[in-house]
Amino acid sequence: MAIEVFWGSGSPVAWRVLLALEYKRLPYVSHLLQFSKQEHKSPQMLALNPRGRVPVLKDGDYVCFESLAILYYLDLKYPQPPIFGRTPEEAGTIMRVICEYQAYIEPRLTAIASGVFQGNADLSGDEITDALRSRTRCTRSPTRRAPSRDGCRSPTGSWAMPARRSTWSSSPASSC
Ligand X SMILES: N[C@@H](CCC(=O)N[C@@H](CS)C(=O)NCC(=O)O)C(=O)O
Binding footprint of ligand X on the chain (CB under 6 A): 8, 11, 13, 40, 52-55, 66-67
Please, what is the minimum distance in Å from the beta carbon of residue 117 to ligand X?
12
Please, what is the minimum distance in Å from the beta carbon of residue 33 to ligand X?
9
Rounded to an integer, what distance in angstroms lies between the CA atom of residue 28 and that of residue 25? 9
Residue 8 carries which side chain, given as an amino acid letter?
G
Please, what is the minimum distance in Å from the beta carbon of residue 120 to ligand X?
15
7 versus 168: smaller Cβ distance to ligand X: 7
66 versus 89: smaller Cβ distance to ligand X: 66
6 versus 168: smaller Cβ distance to ligand X: 6
Please, what is the minimum distance in Å from the beta carbon of residue 45 to ligand X?
10
Rounded to an integer, what distance in angstroms lies between the CA atom of residue 141 and that of residue 145? 6
For residues 78 and 24, is the Cβ–Cβ distance under 8 A? yes
What is the secondary structure of 95-151 as a DSSP string? HHHHHHIIIIIHHHHHHHHIIIIIS--SS-HHHHHHHHHHHHHHHHHHHHT---TTS
19 versus 161: smaller Cβ distance to ligand X: 19
Nearest to 153 by CA among 89, 101, 104, 95: 89
Rounded to an integer, what distance in angstroms lies between the CA atom of residue 52 and that of residue 84? 27
69 versus 160: smaller Cβ distance to ligand X: 69
Please, what is the minimum distance in Å from the beta carbon of residue 53 to ligand X?
3
